[in-house]
Every structure is written in structure tokens, then in C-alpha cells.
Structure 1
Amino acid sequence: MTGGAFARPLPGDGLVAQEGELSLVCAAPDAVTAPLVDALLAALREVAEAGGDGPELVRRAARVLAARRGGRPAACAVAGPSGASGLAVLVSGEAAARVMLADGREMRVGGGPHGPSERTVEGPVASLELALGGAGRAEPRLRLASGVVRGGGLRRAVRRRAASAPPPAPPPADRPMAVAPAPATAVERGPLPPTPVDGTPAGAEGAPEEKVSLIRRHPKRRPGGPRVLGVNCKNEHFNDPRAHYCAVCGISMLQLTLSPFHGPRPPLGVLLLDDGQAVPLEDDQLVGRRPERAPEVAEGRAHPLRMTDAEESISRRHVLVRLREWQVAVVDLGSANGTAVRAPGAAEFVRLPPDTPVELAPGATVRVGLARTFRFESNRNV
């Protein structure tokens, strides 16, 4: 998608609502939940009419959900812009949000068992997906700019808001107004200096110039995962100390004098599910039929990754994809139908013993239950 404010509904049995850049997905109302759904739709409409943003919609939706007494958390998700390029998200019950950042990273928000989860994602954000359990794939020909339709979720691009510049300060009364020089032509201007991730142009007035060592962490790097011991290539990419080549630019690390330091760990790869879903490995992933109810997820130690099958051979809390330092391992959590791994190039799956971490090599395939699989891929070979 390109940067319009429309959404593409996902097939499903819930309700999908879009008003401008504000989005809502919720389970279809029944006799019990109809007042709650009506209140959420009213909040979306009123915030949009008042010109509100994502944080205001999240606050309104949180108040609506807090007023509900008893029962399971309602399945719903709302999202809207925050600041110039960020996004505010609230997810409750059996709903989920996937936020794709402009730099290719993906962030997920799932509803907790004890109440909604709120998150403000710092931008720039490229796209958003809100989905209920069992939502289908988006039909690229469908567009929803405003209104409410039947569906299991939505997917849309996120448009950057233009930052409003403050009005120029008037000149002092005793000093004539300076005349701005004529703008440089494209040839005269030359290439613009690189801009760090915090938005401050390099060499801006008042910002001291910083000298960056080839083997120390760049001071302007965006914080990432947990801090681990690693080394930088000469292009300032943080790597596994055992790596012979940089995982980002491919340059050789063998001729550099490297000094290890603790820095934020980058994603270690991606899980490619057999249904086409791609999950970046930034944190531990708990895979199962009802992973959001697992203690690891409730305590914030892992993200839920739901997998289901027709045979119901996948346990509610089935297998943990565990990240330790630079290694990725799988741990079968005592599931009823087991977890098996097929090494890269091997013909057969090998069943894992329960509660025993087994390290994954890039290209390994993991079978969950009787038939569902995912593959671990990474360019961080050592």
C-alpha cells in the first residue's frame, strides 16, 4: 500500500471501523457485548470528529473497557497516529496488532489475560495490522476510508504527519530585518549531510561534532534489544564477536582490531511460518494454541505467537523460541504431541526431549504438533 488513509479489511466475523487515520477492530456484538461495541464505535467517531489523535482514541477506548464488569477481556484493538510519525495502539483480549517500522523492524502487541495492553510505537511507522483470532488475508482490491464493515481485521499504511513549524520570531525593534539569501540551486547545494535517527542534522549549530571510533558503539544508534557483548564492523554495524563477516554489509571482520563492548542486540533472524507469516526474532516467542495465557507472556518474558491446526494437536503452551546472547534455541514445554526439528539439509525430523533447549541453525525447520511448521532464517552465520 501507499500512504493513503484507507484500510484493507481482513476476512472474518468481527467488525472493522475506519475514520481517517483512526482504526478499530472488535468482535461482533451479541446480546451481552452490544453496549460495549456501541461505546467503542462512538468513541472512534467522536475522537475523529474532534480531530483527535491515536493517544486520545486509546484513552477513550481504555475507559470504555474499564467500565465493563466481569467476563473475559473483550476482543478489540484500536490505533491512531501519535506525533509526526509514531503510532498509539491498544489491544484487548484475543486481538493482536502488528506494526511495521520504516526501517524494516516489526513490533507486535497482544492483549493480556488481565486487561488491555497499550503501547506507543516511536516512528517512523510504515504500516499497521489489527486482527482478531482467525482473521483471513487482505483482499488488495478492497478499500475502507470511512465507516464500519464486517471483517476480522484491517491492514493499512501509516501516513507521516507534517510537523507544524513554529512561526518565525520577529526581529528586534532596533535592528533591520535581515534579508534571506537566495536558495542554492541543486548543483550549488550538493548532497545533504546524513541525519541521525533522532532527527538532528549532522553538524547542526549548537550540536558538538562527535568523533566515532570504528570499534565503539555509535552514540546516536536507536536502542534495540537486550544488551549483549559484541563488536562493530568498520561501518558501525553491531555483530556477534564470533562472526567472520558483518551480517549487515558483508564486510570482512578478520582484518580489524576489534574491541568487544556491550550494546543493544539486533534481531537475530526471522521465523517463517508455513502460512506465510514472518516474525522477526527480537525477543523470546512462546508458540501455542493459547500463548497469551502462558505465564511467560503474562510476566512479559516472551511474546505470544499463536499457531492452531484442525486436529488441535498444538498445546496451549507448546514450545518456546528462546534467545540467549547471540543464540536461538527451541524448548518443548512438555506438549502433548511434541516438537521436532529438521536440521538444514536433513531428510527427517528429530523429536525434542521436553524442557531441553536445542540450538537452531539458520535454515532449520521446527514442527509443532502433528503438521504445523516454521523455519528459522538468519544471515548471522558464524
Structure 2
Amino acid sequence: MSEIINNREQQTTTTNKRQAILKQIFKDLHAGKNVKEVKAHFDAFIGKITIDEISQLQHDFGDLSVEEMHRLHAKHTEIFKGAIEEVEKMNKPEEQPGHPIHTFKLENNELENLVNNQLKVHLDQFELEDSQENVLSLLEDINLLLDIDKHYSRKENLIFPYLETYGIYGPTNNMWRINDFIRDAIKDARKKLASYNGDKHAVIEVINFVIQEVITMIYREENILFPMALNNFTEDEWVKIARESDEIGYCLIAPTEVWKPERHALDEKAISEGYIKMETGLLSLKQLELLLNHLPVDITFIDQDDVVRYFSHGKERIFARTKAVIGRTVQNCHPPRSVHVVEELLADFKAGRKDTEDFWIKFRDKYVYIRYFAVRDENGVYIGTLEFTQNINPIKAIEGEKRIMS
């Protein structure tokens, strides 16, 4: 027994030492120490690193510039390359068609093909001659690359929430920012090509940036993010992710099969027929859900702790929502760059400074009216916020009167 205890103590001591060395290595890296020196130190004292160890390294990037964020992520990638231990699994469901990771990897293959075999080739031709034909070829490639938004959106809205439930916040805080930088760069390239004015250098610079970051992100996903998720998620969680993926959509390709795991323990109970007695009526749970889903608006409710508790699921949602957001803080359901707006709104509601706030935006072919209401009980105590979203194009088009049925 004493040998077992001693072995456990030694293992704990070794683990703590490794974590201390890793933390110091990344402090040195962030402080600007030469990356080759840091890499040599890493190779000498760490050698190989596991996905679990990476997930335990919590880096607070704070309010960094785009340039600083990219500098640090590039250095992290350089340190990790070739050092991540692969975990052997007897059964690999992620290799089965239709599994979310299988689909993500298929998309990455398509993205690599698009970037390496089309975009790079057309960029070389453009560098030699910025003819209209070469500009249009690049524009066509960039328009295809815009589809990457669906790949990133599934990652942000389906993978990140479950990682958070396991106490892993690095991808949400940092990878989402990099995703946004890539999205912005692709849109910038599209804008420069669509209204090309002869600034050849600017086009080459932004497209080279896009190529580098897309390829680097694929490496981060396949060597860090996906193994991290596979090491933690249950079969039931992967089934839920697979089912939710259709709502967001796919990048360049779509899965040809529905994933059917060998053992699926999801409980497929029908909605309970129990009744809810309210002040102005009595409804079954099924009636209430159907009623809410038939409203010609999208509604979402977050509680007093900023946790998403409910959203309606009508036939045509304006903004994508997945069940993975349930139980997630609303701040982590928004890109980092817009979180401050959410925080300010909720602070006003909680302090009683406001009861409502309205926004209206053009979104694709819709004119969207977004309303927020502070929900308070009979004593005026704040219990949450209701988001109410509606396409008001049909309303704005109304003229005259209608007094008979169609």
C-alpha cells in the first residue's frame, strides 16, 4: 500500500513540475523571449505534451491588438508542432461518416484544396499580371472561401459550449477571436477585389494573410481542438452536436450519411403531457411549446445569472440557435468583440436604469427588429431578459386596409 501511495505522490509531483515548467515557458514566450530558445527549453524539459496539458494551460490574452494576438498564436503553434502525443483509441467513431469531427475534417480537406490548388495559383498569376481575368479568378475563390463562416460557426456554437462545461475556456476566448480575424480578412479581400483600383500590393498582402491563417487554423483544429473535444465529450453529446449541425450548415461540402453510433443512450421521451396552471389559463407542456414555436417571431430568455434557459424553435429562425447554448452564459454566445454591448445592456436592466432596448438592422434579405425586455417579478425584482426578434419587411410593406379574408 505504501508503494502505491508513494507512486501516486511521485506522479502528482511530476505533473505539478511539468505544469510549472509549461507555465514558465509560455510566460517567457509572451514576454518576447526568442522562440527558438523557448522551443529548445520545451524540447529539453517537456518533449511531448498531451491535449489535457494544453487544455489546462489557461492564457489570459486580455485586450491585445490583432498583431499581438497573431504573434502569440503563431508562436504557440510553432512550439506545439510535432510535440503533441496522439491518443490511440480502439474504436474511433470520429472516422465514421456523419460524425461531426469526420465532417469538420472533410471540410478542412476542401479548404486546403481551395487555398493551395486554386487561391495560391490564381494569386501567383495575379502577381504577374493584375488583369481583369485574374482579378475575377481571385474574387471567385474568395467568394467560395466565405463559406468558411459555417465551419467556424458550428465550431463556436456547438464545440465551444460543451468544452466550457468541462472547464475548458481557451478556445472560446482565443480561437473565436482568430476566427473573426480570418472572417474579416476574407471580407476585406473580397472588397478590395470587387472594387479593384490597381493597389496590387494591398490585395497580395491580405490574401497571403488569409492563406496563412486558414492553413494554421486547420492545424490548430486537427491537432489541438478536435482531440481535446474527443477526449472529453460523451457519445450523447456528439449525437446532439451532429443533430444540431444541419441548422447552421456546412462549408463547401455536406455529410452524405447520418451518423449512427453503435450504442446510443439518448433518452427520446416524448414531451410530457403534464399541465401548467397559469393566472389566465391552463395549458399542457406540448400545447405551450407548440404555441411558442408558432409565434411569427424568435424569442430567447436568459435568467438573472445571464444563462440561456430557453429559445423558441419556429420554422424559419432569423439567427441560428442550437440547443448547445442552453445552460451557457449569454456572453459566451456572442463574438468577443460584441460582448461589451451585451454587458452594458444587462447592467442597465439589472440596475433598473432601463426596461427595454431596441435595435434594427439589415440582415441578408430581411429587415430585422430586435427588442430586449427586462423581465421583473411582481416586486420589481429582475429575473432575466427576453430577446424578441422579428423580420419586419412584411409589416413595412403594408398599405391601405384589409377587411376580408384572402
TM-score, normalised via structure 1 length:
0.29
With a CA cutoff of 8 Å and minimum separation of 6, indicate the structure with the bigger relative contact order: 2
Q: Which has the higher helix share?
A: 2
TM-score, normalised via structure 2 length:
0.28
Q: Which has the higher strand share?
A: 1
